[in-house]
Amino acid sequence: MKHFMKMVVQVWLYFYCICLWRCFKFILRKLTGRCELQRICYKNKPGAGRTLKIEASLKSSKSKLLQSSVTVHPDAIEKTIEDILALKKVNVDTNPQLAVSLQACLLQIAGYRHLTVEVEKLRREAYDSENPEHEEMLIKLWKLLKPGVPLDARVTKQWCEIGFQGDDPKTDFRGMGLLGLYNLVYFAEKDTTTALQILSDSLQPKCRDVSKEEFSKVSKTEWEMKKFDKAIGYSFAIVGINITDLAYNLLISGALKTHLYNVAPEAPSLHHFQQTFCFLMNEFHKFWIEVDPVDIMEFNRVRNKFHKRILKQLQKTDMALCPHFAASESLVNV
Amino acid sequence: MGLLSILRKLKSAPDQEVRILLLGLDNAGKTTLLKQLASEDISHITPTQGFNIKSVQSQGFKLNVWDIGGQRKIRPYWRNYFENTDVLIYVIDSADRKRFEETGQELAELLDEEKLSGVPVLIFANKQDLLTAAPASEIAEGLNLHTIRDRVWQIQSCSALTGEGVQDGMNWVCKNVNAKKK
């Protein structure tokens, strides 16, 4: 009974708050002579801060027109904005900025939605070794990561050298499909230096600083074994596929909005997503070294920790996952 | 008696905890099986670096299932997870005939491990949804399973993708949890 009452109070409070908020907006509108959309546009700089607020305001609107404007096709945006301005009785001559700002926001919102669809499509397309395009892409990845080293055969142990699990990478893409391959190729192509550095680091046996005291405790053979234990590093390609999963989750959950709205002033597109992937690979590598896990078995623990850290960073609306890496030099940080 | 006290009473009878080890070559379908057991989405699976663990309630047991990566590089770490294992589940990709020998060797090595001696073993002949999959009987013969005498064992054909056969296998697991030979 107690719980039931508590629930009733909570539901009532919820509706009360909505009502209060509506009244508040009404009073503000009368006082300032501006609607909520105008107030947001005037108060906020272009970027995630503004677009996120506009998106939330439109979604929670009572008007069907405003609600549906976040899912409108990019080509219909201009018409929608005209309708909104008419509905809100905004004088275009005295408020020329509003239409421009609103258009920028809607373009970003539509772009993000479109990107989600595009990424999902790529992810769902399974790697097919019968498809010459897929095969070509895979060979390209090899050539980029192992310049000058020829592949002995299509199915060969050599694939392990770039961090696939076995002698045929086709089974390693799994739930990430072509998206994983596209991301890896993009990284190796656009940010070759970093990719090669990370690949080389991932193959290094981990050299722990061992004090003299400890050194005397470990027998020499054991020490030698540890030194050459290649299993200590992680598998570059597999980690790439796992980080693709992480980037995909950030995108689908909407967490990447802050970043993408800040780095893509027009509309986020696939290359923005792939640049984000490159950044995440780089960051994860640094994080891995910083956390200094004992061995590869800690991968999921480290990965979850990293995921939480990125999510926290993305909560700040002025956040752009730092664009200071080669692949994103062309990016404009608004 | 209120709802809360009933709940509390239910909670006070703790389930027997069972430690299950899920092993097999890479791409055998271990993680898919794990997610299938936990009724989770299986469309976003990536190759396992390290391990995954999930707890599943089944027939009065709390099954703690450890899914360890099957990549050759990771196999040396399997032994770190042997201790206190109640049931070993070994997963085989029934359509990957080229690696039947490799998977047979890994299984034979596991069965020789001292820390796993007497532990009941369930072999899942997975991926039966594929046309090219070998039937469980063929795999059992190929792996000489009938020579296993030091423990209870079972081979179960299944498809982790569709879920077919998985529950049958888990029923066997629950029945044989306490069949560990000392």
pLDDT score for A30: 75
The per-residue pLDDT for A53 is: 93
Total count of residues recorded for chain A: 334
All structural domains of chain B with their residue ranges: 14-176
Mutate to test the interface with B, among A160, A171, A238 (most CBs of B within 10 A): A238
Distance from CA of A242 to the nearest CA of B (A): 6
Q: How confident is the model at residue A121 (pLDDT cuts 50, 70, 90)?
A: very high
Mean local confidence (pLDDT), A156-178: 93
pLDDT band at A334 (very low <50, low <70, confident <90, very high): very low
> How large is the average pLDDT for residues A47-66?
90
Taking alpha carbons only, the member of A232, A234, A235, A230 closest to residue A162 is A235
- Distances in Å between the alpha carbon of A9 and those of A5, A14, A162, B68? 6, 9, 59, 48
pLDDT tens for A294-323 read 888 999 999 999 999 999 999 988 777 765
B2 assigned binding-site residue: no
For the cut 80, the answer to whether the pLDDT of residue A7 exceeds it is: yes
- Residues from chain A that touch B42, judged by Cβ atoms under 8 A, are 175
- Report helix angle A2-32 to A36-43, nearest 10: 80
Give the pLDDT confidence score for residue A58 in this predicted structure. Answer: 92
Residue A146 has pLDDT above 70, yes or no: yes
Please judge whether B52 and A298 are an interchain contact, meaning their C-beta atoms are less than 8 angstroms apart. Answer: no
Taking contacts as CB-CB distances below 8 angstroms, the residues of chain B near A299 are 49-50
Q: Is A160 on the interface with B (CB under 8 A)?
A: yes
Is position B70 annotated in a ligand binding site? yes
In three-state form (DSSP H/G/I as H, E/B as E, the rest C), the secondary structure along B103-128 is: HHHHHHHHHHCHHHCCCCEEEEEECC
Prediction pTM value? 0.85
Any idea which of A157-161, A218-222, A307-311, B151-155 has the lowest mean pLDDT? A218-222
For the CA atoms of chain A, what is the radius of gyration?
26
Which residue in the block uniquely carries the two structure tokens 């693709």?
A244
Q: A301 to chain B: which residues are within 8 Å by CB?
A: 50
Residue B30 is labelled as binding a ligand: yes
Give the integer Cα–Cα distance in Å for A252 and A260: 13
Ramachandran angles phi, psi of A60, nearest 5°: -90, 5
A54 lies within 8 A of chain B by CB: no
Is residue B156 part of the annotated active site? The answer reads no
Q: Where are the alpha helices (DSSP H) in chain A?
A: 2-32, 36-43, 48-59, 64-68, 77-87, 96-124, 132-145, 177-190, 192-203, 212-217, 220-227, 236-253, 257-263, 270-291, 299-314
Q: Above 70 in pLDDT, residue A175?
A: yes
Rounded distance between C-alpha atoms, residue B19 and residue B140, angstroms? 25
| A231 chain-B contacts, CB cut-off 8 A | 73-74, 76-77
How much is the pLDDT for A150? 94
Indicate if the pLDDT at residue A23 is higher than 60: yes
pLDDT band of A282, cuts 50, 70, 90: very high
Q: How far is B32 from chain A (nearest CA, A)?
A: 10
Find residue B56's DSSP bridge partners. B63
- Residue A198's φ and ψ, nearest 5 degrees, are -65, -40
Res. A216 pLDDT band, cuts 50 70 90: low
Confidence of residue A161 (pLDDT cuts 50, 70, 90): very high
A163: left (phi over 0), alpha (psi -120 to 50) or beta: left
What is the mean pLDDT of each successive set of 10 residues along chain B, which is 182 residues long? 65 79 96 96 94 92 95 93 96 96 96 95 97 96 92 96 96 88 61
Name every residue in B having a CB less than 8 A away from some CB of A: 26-27, 42-47, 49-52, 69, 71-74, 76-77, 80
pLDDT for A112 equals 95
CA distances from A152 to A1, A142, A155, A157, A167 (A): 73, 12, 8, 9, 11
Query: If you measure CA to CA, which chain B residue comes closest to A3?
Result: B4
Which is the CATH superfamily of the domain at B14-176? P-loop containing nucleotide triphosphate hydrolases (3.40.50.300)
- Pick from A160, A172, A175: which is nearest to B44 by CB? A175
Helices (H), A150-235: 177-190, 192-203, 212-217, 220-227
B1, B46 in Cβ contact below 8 A?
Answer: no
Among the listed residues B16, B36, B57, B71, the single catalytic one is B71
Q: Sheet containing B121-126: which strands, arranged edge to edge?
A: B51-58, B61-68, B16-24, B87-93, B121-126, B153-157
Across A65-86, average pLDDT:
89
